[in-house]
Structure 1
């Protein structure tokens, strides 16, 4: 069964998601792509849309797909059997409990364990989806995770446009260009008090670097 699910996941992203992202949404790279070639690695990105995860996975080569794990809310994606199967086996999520009374271990511990297994985690430091094309305050969990796995590079990515294609609460996909900005990876140093500020500054720089047409 694992082999079948692995094959289905590969086919889903190779035949459906990558062509949709390329042809229907359309990606515009604002700079040269900087992505992990292997795990462990931590990709952090802003979060405006359900499309965010699919686009981020589509950026990576198919040869590392089996290592990619988007961090996602268990209470949302495991609420019925089909969605749970699809989320776990096709999207490949790492389900975490957001509600403390349900947690058997902390979300940071879960993510750290996954990184120690060589995974490429996709992590949204804002927590949940924000308003279209507007970044919410970053949460400190990303720093706690980097502190637990200081050897793991952190790859910030900023996306613009997906909040218009499929914003929170909408179910109708509207074709709209997605602008992607990549950043050199960050590395946590022991007792680095300003790492959180480095992450926030990097996102501010990426956001301000997006060059949009006058009509956008």
Structure 2
């Protein structure tokens, strides 16, 4: 209930009224799981915007991956992360791949929708960072789970890193068709990067390199 109220009363009005979005490909968004939504990452707004695209009744099935070291740095952030957003906390260092991905496997096996960022951490606004192999390793156990790519532009400037106030900026959310899982990690990374670059060309602003 807290999660639904958080999005209904606060986040959705901000996303759709204050920010405003150029949203394309909404019908591609998976509404039932198991499914993976894989998006580029430039801002802490990314998770909130992606989750806001879902009907309130579906939000309980949507679980974003987020860095434990950031969201658990104090009690307030930890409460918001666990109670309002319902994140899957990931330790970004000092853990084996199997340990890091264990909770993600459980989410998919329970038929939920997983939101994750193949870059692993926030990049600079309008720049695509290095794609890591985490998604490839995750999908080796779930080869038939659809992976829906999403490219977002402008959110890194709407909420710049280190700032707490929104800056008016036109933002794009472009949802693509499900990706085909490759048996080769490097080929899969290349596919993700190429897909993000292709989707970025549909943004109202310029694409990314």
TM over 0.5, shorter chain: yes
Which 5+ residue runs of structure 2 have no aligned equivalent? none
- Deviation at residue 108 of structure 1 after TM alignment: 2.2
Alpha-carbon separation, structure 2, partners of 1:56 and 1:32: 11
Tell me, in whole angstroms, the C-alpha distance in 2 between the residues paired with 1:182 and 1:33. Answer: 8
Q: Is the 8 A contact 2:108 2:114 kept in 1?
A: yes
Runs of 4+ in structure 1 off by over 3 angstroms are 30-33
1:35 and 2:29 matched: yes
Q: Which residue of 2 aligns with 1:162?
A: 155
1:144-163 equivalences in 2 (<5 Å): 144-163=137-156
Residues 1-216 of structure 1 aligned to structure 2 (within 5 Å): 7-100=1-94, 106-188=99-181, 191-192=183-184, 194-212=187-205
Tell me, in whole angstroms, the C-alpha distance in 2 between the residues paired with 1:54 and 1:32: 16
Partner Cα distance (1:14, 1:50) in 2: 18
| Deviation of 1:60 (Å) | 1.3
Task: Show structure 1 runs of 5+ residues with no match.
Answer: 1-6
Shift of 1:31: 4.2
| Greater gyration radius | 1
Higher mean C-alpha deviation, range 49-58 or range 163-172:
163-172
Residues paired across the two proteins, number: 205
RMSD between aligned alpha carbons? Answer: 1.9
Shift of the 32–84 alpha-carbon distance from structure 1 to 2, 3 Å rule, reads closer
